[in-house]
């Protein structure tokens, strides 16, 4: 099996209009404008893909995957290497297609821009299929389901369900579907604080800077385990499906779908998910 190279993509990437709907820019919190130090270096292998297009994906024998590696258990750092469900599925897909994998770490709301511009061949970051995103990029077949949940402090009387959002301050990771869903509550009076990383939103919750955090269930469980005094509300907020995003018209869509089909039939997808998510 080919080794995953955790390449870190540098430079401030401009937010395009195509991803503005997903919360790109317009941050209401200073933390959302900061760049994590772990993203400051760019490997030589990452820079070779700058001129890639949808038609030349994998031309140099490698495929670049854009991700945000702060979304455990889907992608996160372990001993300076990006691991997780998405990382292993991407590696398995590349093995099937005969490519080496390079993983480029960046802010979540820069992923679609990177795929559109050809700086990345595809994106995986617990990315939900939505009609709005499909206007900017294509999606492969889905590979897993997920649930959006609400994290609050134990014993909180402020937020007991999403019905309380209109009178609360809600933390989200910028550009995620949690951001998209909660934005609808702003018109009803909710204050939404957007952060580059889910961990920053959770930290704000522990410091009483927000009343609740909306995020995917599996990362939510990890954050609650790491932060005493937090809990997940029992009622799910939203159900959604994850898929791989590719550039409009990319030849990779059909290729990746073929690889995913084989991996599902072989039981490899379930094996990878069960490795990181215990029943």
Domain ranges for the chain, please list them: 5-145+242-276, 147-239
CATH architecture assigned to 5-145+242-276: 3-Layer(aba) Sandwich (3.40)
Q: Are strands 212-216 and 70-71 parallel, antiparallel or unpaired?
A: unpaired
pLDDT at 6: 39
pLDDT band at residue 232, thresholds of 50, 70 and 90? very high
Contact 166, 188 (CB under 8 A): yes
Q: Answer yes or no: same fold for 5-145+242-276 and 147-239.
A: yes
pLDDT band at residue 58, thresholds of 50, 70 and 90? low
What distance in Å separates the CA atoms of residue 269 and residue 89, rounded to the nearest whole number?
A: 7
pLDDT at 16: 37
Q: For residue 169, is pLDDT > 50?
A: yes
pLDDT at 134: 95
pLDDT at 57: 63
What is the number of residues in the chain? 279
Q: Using one digit for the tens of pLDDT, what is the confidence trace for 243-255?
A: 999 999 999 999 9
Give 41 or 88, the one with higher predicted confidence: 88
pLDDT at 42: 31
Token pair for 64: 């670049």
pLDDT band at residue 56, thresholds of 50, 70 and 90? low
Residue 12: C-alpha distances to residues 211, 269, 273 (Å): 30, 33, 32
Average pLDDT, the chain: 82
Q: For residue 117, is pLDDT > 60?
A: yes
Token pair for 278: 């215990």
What distance in Å separates the CA atoms of residue 226 and residue 208, rounded to the nearest whole number?
A: 17
DSSP β-bridge partners for residue 65: 103, 122
pLDDT band at residue 59, thresholds of 50, 70 and 90? low
pLDDT at 146: 87
CATH architecture assigned to 147-239: 3-Layer(aba) Sandwich (3.40)
């Amino acid at each position: 099996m080919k080794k995953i190279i955790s390449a870190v993509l540098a430079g401030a990437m401009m937010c395009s209009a195509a991803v503005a709907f997903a919360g790109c820019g317009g941050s209401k919190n200073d933390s959302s404008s900061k760049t994590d130090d772990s993203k400051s270096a760019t490997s030589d292998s990452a820079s070779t893909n700058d001129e890639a297009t949808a038609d030349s994906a994998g031309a140099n024998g490698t495929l670049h995957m854009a991700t945000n590696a702060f979304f455990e258990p889907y992608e996160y750092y372990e001993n300076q290497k990006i691991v997780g469900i998405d990382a292993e599925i991407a590696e398995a897909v590349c093995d099937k297609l005969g490519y080496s994998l390079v993983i480029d770490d960046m802010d979540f709301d820069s992923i679609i821009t990177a795929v559109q511009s050809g700086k990345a061949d595809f994106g995986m970051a617990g990315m939900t299929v939505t009609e709005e995103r499909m206007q900017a990029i294509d999606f492969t077949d889905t590979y897993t389901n997920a649930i959006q949940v609400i994290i609050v402090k134990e014993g909180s009387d402020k937020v007991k369900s999403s019905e309380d959002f209109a009178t609360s301050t809600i933390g989200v990771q910028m550009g995620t579907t949690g951001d998209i869903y909660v934005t609808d509550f702003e018109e009803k009076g909710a204050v939404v604080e957007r952060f580059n990383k889910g961990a920053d939103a959770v930290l704000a919750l522990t410091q009483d800077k927000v009343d609740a955090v909306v995020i995917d269930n599996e990362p939510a469980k990890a954050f609650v385990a790491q932060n005493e005094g937090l809990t997940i509300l029992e009622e799910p907020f939203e159900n959604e499906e994850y898929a791989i995003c590719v550039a409009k018209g990319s030849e990779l869509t059909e290729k990746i779908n073929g690889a995913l089909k084989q991996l599902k039939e072989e039981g490899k997808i379930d094996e990878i998910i069960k490795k990181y998510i215990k029943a």
